[in-house]
Structure 1
Amino acid sequence: MRLLLDWIGAYSTTSRFLAPLVEAGGKIAWFNPVSLTRLRPRYTNFRTHRKIVVCDGVVGFTGGMNISDEQTSEFHGDRAWRDTHMRIEGSAVRALQRVFIEDWSYACGETPNGPEYLKRATARGEELVQIVASGPDADVYAIHKLMFAAIASAHERVLITTPYFVPDEPIVSALVTAAMRGIDVKVIVPAAGDSMLVDLAARSYFPELLAAGVRIYEYLPRFVHAKTIVIDRDLAIAGSANMDNRSFRLNFEVCAAVYGGQFAQRLAAVFEDDLAECREVKARQLDREPLVQRLGEATARLFSPML
């Protein structure tokens, strides 16, 4: 059993808490730790935000869920975060495990190998699943390109759920252009996020998007942490990447793109269920915002490349 934790993301996880796992034979590694003996300011901002679980090389899980009390109804009841996670079987599990092995190798210099890893798998369903990983170690920015291409190629609908909505100029252009082409573009964001600065920056994009015909909804019951996109009836994307520059270019992220089959319809149905618990943002509502609010949004937007 191997557990890889981001040094900043899991800063409150103590060695005492992890001790029973280590005593049972589990291995722990920390991604990009920072210390006085290993101070690398240039790389400190590069974190792994990936959520990956692979069991026996046969079953994989990925999506938006962290292993935390906030996302567990057992501890937080109705206040637990609303999230979306995927269970994957078949050959895509190999690709998901390869991403984990690369991260593990970087974190501790050890590359797991043996017959129990990267097992050859046969197709298990109708859908074609593509695992897309990206990070600051390569200038391809594959997830950003995947999202941009998906939105730009839509013919019928674009359904987006994201907890952090601070899109860069290409994504804004893709959304605006899609809406102006008559595509049904809808975006769900939290009514109240866990970062006031991000919330303010996100709202600074609303006027331009609403003017183009994009419809924006705020999820009311609790914090929505799902990161999903549905394009038309053939493509669904779920993973760890938010729609912001940090996920596009600074964090190590992973997404699963599912083509064909019924998954897109299932994810669209979940989106419609969430809409029932949202309020729609209207342009006239933004026009009535006090000057202090608008100044705060404009100021927060200046920090959008770092959010």
Structure 2
Amino acid sequence: MPRVLSIIFIVLYVYIILSSITVVLLENRNPVKSLSWILVLILLPGLGLIFYIALGQNYRKKKFVDKKTIQHLTDRPVASFDISKLDTSLMDNNQLNLINMLYRNSGAVGYAFNKVEILSDGVSTFDSFFEAIENAKDHIHIEFFIFADDEISNRMRELLIRKAKSGVRVRMIYDYWGSLRLSMSAKFIKSLKDAGVYVHPFLPLRLRLGRSKINYRNHRKIVVVDGKVGFTGGINVADRYFKGNYLGVWRDTVVRIEGAAIHGLQMQFLLDWHFVEKKLITAEKYFPAPEKFGQNLIQIVSSGPDTDWEAIMQGIASAIMSATKYVYIHSPYFIPNELVLGCVQMAALSGVDVRLMIPKRSDSRFTDASTSSYMGQIMEAGVKVLRYKEGFLHSKAIVIDDFISIVGSCNMDERSFNQNFEVNAFIYENTAALQLRNLFIRDMEKCEMLTLDEWNNRKNWQKLKESCARLFSPLQ
């Protein structure tokens, strides 16, 4: 009898594994990712299947937010700009193609006449956050991957509580897994709710494994105050951005926006709010008529496992290929897919000054090894690689040809391109681009240049470690 049960178990297990491999193949993903998951399923009996159920399923075609809901909100903003009426003398054809592509792949309308401020350190960023929140009269919408339950997050908590008690409607979204890692306590959350702050986690952990979507995290960072002032970028709510930790002070980039583009940030927050609370908010007061500022255009581009296209990734690739002079990239991780890697290489080979700034050491040894495995390929194409050594470079910012600026939450890796919910601002104007370029040049003084000889002469065990990490990077 035990032998019969063993045979039944083996047959059932083989059937489940073969079924899972069939599902992976039928999804028609990137062949490297598909092969990686097949290897995990075969080489890690039992455990590989658990990993796949928890982390490997493709939800891109299983919509988190239905199109009818999106339509209700996209009908509301009145500040969207008709791209066909854009003064084409301000841009070349490649830049216009980028704008049109982002509109078609994600519905990212263009918003004109905005005021843009680039914030590049924790002190100025949180001062700006607190000033905007302090001046709120009607509502505060706030969404972050991480609230760390430390000094700065408690200062924000106390301010949100005070504003809620004064009659301002405060809504807050935090990523369940991101904030759980840094132990945001139940007491922290309860104090907000008791004061009248509306708080919801994004995709909380489910005990039923088949329903778990732990691999899909809300990595967005959005603050909107009264529908008039907004922020997005790479920063989280944590002391490390001005006090530092074992990596030193974290360097990040945030963009503060006034004007029509706030409608784009507001719409994204309200879509996320509908997802966490199942309540659709479309009141006109959340989309007030915007003031007009400078001559510019901004697209608020979101992407995630619920979108048809990897919109931000496609936008970054297209922007890089539009460059004729330079591309300066800040990224804490560089684990690109083949498309982005090819665009970076082709831009450098065509004579464009491509510079990639990454941290000398990040918060993940695995991603450090994966990132390092790409350095030879891009340096051989002519890319200049700079390693930031005064703290941890956490900034996700790209500036191109003194005109295109890309700032947001999206890293240059597969997780951000395909699995996380992300948001980036694509900004078309000279002023913001020059600010970002100057910040990049300033940051170069805190970097060391990686040379091709240095990379080629590293130890064999290091090369092997990097190659192994790269092999499994599609699963991150």
> Shorter-chain TM-score category?
over 0.9
Partner of 2:189: 18
Q: Contact (CA 8 Å) 2:320, 2:343: kept in 1 or not?
A: yes
1:60 correspondence with 2:244 = no
1:80 correspondence with 2:252 = no
The 3 A distance-change label for structure 1 pair 38 and 13 is farther
The one-letter code of the counterpart of 2:334 is F
Q: How does 1:145-164 map to 2 (within 5 A)?
A: 145-164=314-333
Return the alpha-carbon distance in structure 1 between the equivalents of residues 458 and 262 of structure 2.
Answer: 48
CA deviations 1:145-189 (Å, max 9, x no partner) are 100000111100000000011011111110111111100000000
Q: Contact (CA 8 Å) 1:188, 1:217: kept in 2 or not?
A: yes
Aligned length: 305
The one-letter code of the counterpart of 1:65 is I
Return the alpha-carbon distance in structure 2 between the equivalents of residues 233 and 202 of structure 1.
Answer: 27
The one-letter code of the counterpart of 1:225 is H
Partner of 1:140: 309
Kindly name which structure, 1 or 2, has the bigger radius of gyration based on alpha carbons.
2
Partner of 1:112: 281
Q: Contact (CA 8 Å) 2:247, 2:363: kept in 1 or not?
A: no
Query: Alpha-carbon deviation of 1:37?
Result: 5.8
Query: Alpha-carbon deviation of 1:118?
Result: 2.1
1:91 correspondence with 2:260 = yes
Query: Alpha-carbon deviation of 1:78?
Result: 9.9
Partner of 2:385: 216
- The farther-off stretch of 7-16 and 56-65 is 7-16
SS in 1 for 2:251: coil
Among 26, 48, 51, the alignment partner of 2:218 is 48
Q: Contact (CA 8 Å) 2:328, 2:398: kept in 1 or not?
A: yes
SS in 1 for 2:286: coil
Query: Alpha-carbon deviation of 1:15?
Result: 1.8
Query: Alpha-carbon deviation of 1:108?
Result: 1.6
Q: Contact (CA 8 Å) 1:210, 1:283: kept in 2 or not?
A: yes
SS in 2 for 1:49: coil
Q: How does 1:199-278 map to 2 (within 5 A)?
A: 199-278=368-447
Query: Alpha-carbon deviation of 1:21?
Result: 1.8
Query: Alpha-carbon deviation of 1:79?
Result: 2.9
The one-letter code of the counterpart of 1:29 is H
Return the alpha-carbon distance in structure 2 between the equivalents of residues 52 and 162 of structure 1.
Answer: 19
Partner of 1:193: 362
The one-letter code of the counterpart of 1:165 is F
Partner of 2:203: 32
After TM superposition, the score normalised by the length of structure 1 is: 0.96
Structure 2, unmatched stretches of 5+, are 1-169
Q: How does 1:145-184 map to 2 (within 5 A)?
A: 145-184=314-353
Q: 1 or 2 for the larger relative contact order (CA 8 Å, sep ≥6)?
A: 1
SS in 2 for 1:2: strand
RMSD: 1.6
The one-letter code of the counterpart of 1:303 is F
Partner of 2:240: 70
SS in 2 for 1:136: coil
SS in 1 for 2:285: coil
Return the alpha-carbon distance in structure 2 between the equivalents of residues 20 and 127 of structure 1.
Answer: 41
- The farther-off stretch of 282-291 and 177-186 is 282-291
Return the alpha-carbon distance in structure 2 between the equivalents of residues 238 and 286 of structure 1.
Answer: 29
Query: Alpha-carbon deviation of 1:23?
Result: 1.9
After TM superposition, the score normalised by the length of structure 2 is: 0.62
The one-letter code of the counterpart of 2:457 is R
Partner of 2:13: none
- The farther-off stretch of 24-33 and 114-123 is 114-123
1:280 correspondence with 2:449 = yes
